[in-house]
Amino acid sequence: MTVIAIDGTFASGKGTLARRLSEQYNLPHLDTGKLYRAVAKIVLDAKDDPDDAKSCTQAAQKINSEMLADPALKSGPIGAAASKVAVHPPVRAALLRYQRDFAAKGGVLDGRDIGTVIYPNADVKLYIDAAPQERAQRRHAELIGYGEDISFETVLTQLKERDFRDANRAIAPLKPAKDAHLIDTTNLSIERAFVASVKVIDAVLAAKATKK
Ligand code: C5P
């Protein structure tokens, strides 16, 4: 049973990487951002406030697997609200079991706190980052692709706000685990980032196997 934890900043490429790695190692994949996005969607649909811990916690208790397949979760406004619902400790507590149960069967999980909080015993931990300008360009192109009408400057400003909120919240802030392997994708294509990640993972798994 192998667990690969992939944490990192918004639009760093960690989601695409996690999907490719789950195929490479034949492991199920959980994009944990979708849990927070699904909570945000319930809250926004009910016209509740993402800053209100009580309505967010009630929403978090309703989350199930089917909700994670909703394509509407990808939108910019839901992502921004997700980083607000994610600061409430009871919301994180309500989503913890789902993530740990998933990891306990082996898998690739990507998010912000997988290697630090959700599964500190993961076999391999990667931390993916890239320069803000580069991440904003990627995200801008993606949102335009979804038909959203938004400027690059707005995407960059929102991305910096999101980074700040994720890195400075009191509970489970975004940071690399001490034993995480850092991969900077600023100048890497998806393919090169994938190759670099496989190299790290294979080396860590091989070293573990010889220790057994
Ligand atoms: O990765 P994604 O953009 O889908 O995540 C949306 C938001 O959910 C993040 O900005 C972050 O605040 C929150 N999140 C989190 N912990 C995770 C995954 C996502 O706090 N493991």
pLDDT digits (tens, 9 = 90+) for 11-30: 999 999 999 999 999 999 99
Per-residue confidence (pLDDT) for residue 76, from 0 to 100: 83
Measured at the alpha carbon of residue 136, what is the angle toward residues 24 and 176, in degrees to the nearest 5? 55
Distances (CA, A) of 42 to 31, 76, 99, 146, 166: 18, 15, 19, 21, 21
Residue-number span of the structural domain to which 199 is assigned: 3-205
Residue 211: pLDDT over 90: no
Q: Which of 17, 112, 129 to mutate to test the pocket of ligand 1 (most atoms within 8 A of CB)?
A: 112
Residue 132: pLDDT over 90: yes
- 72 within a domain of the structure (yes/no): yes
Find the CATH number of the domain harbouring 13. Answer: 3.40.50.300
Q: Which two tokens stand for residue 206?
A: 């091989």
- 43 within a domain of the structure (yes/no): yes
Return d(Cα 4, Cα 125) in angstroms, integer.
6
Counted domains in the chain: 1
76 vs 187, which has greater pLDDT? Answer: 187
Residue 212: pLDDT over 90: no
Span 181-195, mean pLDDT? Answer: 96
Residue 75: pLDDT over 90: no
- 210 within a domain of the structure (yes/no): no
Span 80-97, mean pLDDT? Answer: 96
Return d(Cα 73, Cα 42) in angstroms, integer.
10
Span 96-100, mean pLDDT? Answer: 96
Return d(Cα 19, Cα 147) in angstroms, integer.
24
Per-chain mean pLDDT for the chain? 96
One-letter amino acid of 198? V
- 211 within a domain of the structure (yes/no): no
Per-residue confidence (pLDDT) for residue 198, from 0 to 100: 98
- 212 within a domain of the structure (yes/no): no
Distance 81 CA to ligand 1 centre (A): 10
Minimum CA distance residue for ligand 1 atom 16: 112
Q: Which of 212, 210, 189, 162 is nearest to 20 (CA)?
A: 189
Distance 207 CA to ligand 1 centre (A): 31
211 vs 2, which has greater pLDDT? Answer: 2
- 51 within a domain of the structure (yes/no): yes
Which residues have C-beta atoms less than 6 Å from ligand 1? 10, 32-33, 36-37, 79, 82-83, 86, 111-113, 162, 166
Residue 117: pLDDT over 90: yes
- 193 within a domain of the structure (yes/no): yes
Per-residue confidence (pLDDT) for residue 146, from 0 to 100: 85
- 18 within a domain of the structure (yes/no): yes
